[in-house]
Amino acid sequence: MPLALEHLDLRGYDLVISSESGPAKGLVLNASRRHICYCHSPMRYLWDLYPDYVHEWTRSRTKRAVMNLTSNYLRVWDFASAARVDEFIANSRNVQKRLWRAYRRESTVVHPPVSVESFYYRPPLDYFLLVSELVAYKRVMDAVVCFSRSGRPLRIVGDGPEYRALKAAAAPNIEFCGRVSDTELREQYARCRAVIQPGEEDFGIVSVEALASGKPIVGLGRGGIIEIAPEAEYAGFLYPQPGSDSLERAIAHFDAVEGTIRPSKLQFLASQFSENQFAANINALVNLQPHASESLTDDTPSRLRTMSRSA
């Protein structure tokens, strides 16, 4: 992929916008061209999640050996390719911090677009909902263990390499729905009691979709969910450390106040992440003069910039 990207001929373009969580920023452009990278995260298996992949999530000894041999060289290339970008846009403050840690590059936050108007509220049925790719870092197993133990109904929408292990560990009260249509997914959101999010998300489209459906999120209090679901509004029931026990305590908190949650307030919170707002923020950034801002330093985190939602 790096070789293919570096051989793309983009001489006919004055502005290039790459959208990536991998090597797409590695384009080689003429110095007169402007390159904006909308980054969803530096490659997590090379940076913040590298120890987890090597020591816990990669079961094959061969794969672990390959990662040990190649990861340093890939990080060098990844860091060097970041220097080719004129301006970075981060999809959340969470990713903004990762960009600074990995590349020592300043960025502006523009939250991703969500078609919030297409979601709707319905009175809940007796089940919780989890929407996720079934991969290790999403920590779906925490939810499977928690709900298997409590007997609460849980529906899991999604598929992935962890499916067999999750299915084997699940009690009969847990239903695996696989991949579903957009129409069915909206109905699943609308009818659930709350959405479960046991892993750390870069931003968290699922969190916004849940709020747009008038449903709160019970999730790990790390990453993008902190920017989306304020606890004071009963939008998020967050717990600080991953694990099934922590999740169970957060669900108990949700149980205690469920009757006081106002779906219309949650939907209002979700409206801040609309497609129209995203378009306005991106247009404002593209029309700015490049290289207009100062560099960040480690001791001045307050200077990290976020696009105003009223831009």
CA distance 176 to 245: 22
| Residues 8 and 143 reside in one and the same domain | no
Residue 212 lies in a domain: yes
CA distance 131 to 157: 5
Beta bridge partners of 114: 274
Nearest to 175, CA basis, from 216, 137, 128, 221: 128
| Residues 129 and 260 reside in one and the same domain | yes
4-18, 40-54, 152-166, 268-282, range with the lowest pLDDT = 40-54
Residue 221 lies in a domain: yes
pLDDT in tens, 20-37: 887 888 888 888 899 999
Confidence of residue 301 (pLDDT cuts 50, 70, 90): very low
Higher-scoring residue by pLDDT: 251, 75? 251
Higher-scoring residue by pLDDT: 302, 244? 244
pLDDT in tens, 178-200: 999 999 999 999 999 999 999 99
CA distance 92 to 112: 8
Confidence of residue 45 (pLDDT cuts 50, 70, 90): low
| Residues 143 and 240 reside in one and the same domain | yes
Tell me, rounded to whole angstroms, the distance of Cα 169 from its chain centroid.
26
pLDDT in tens, 259-272: 999 999 999 999 99
| Residues 103 and 130 reside in one and the same domain | no
Nearest to 274, CA basis, from 301, 245, 309: 309
| Residue 77 · residue 97 · CB < 8 Å | no
Q: Is the pLDDT of residue 303 over 50?
A: no
| Residues 94 and 183 reside in one and the same domain | no
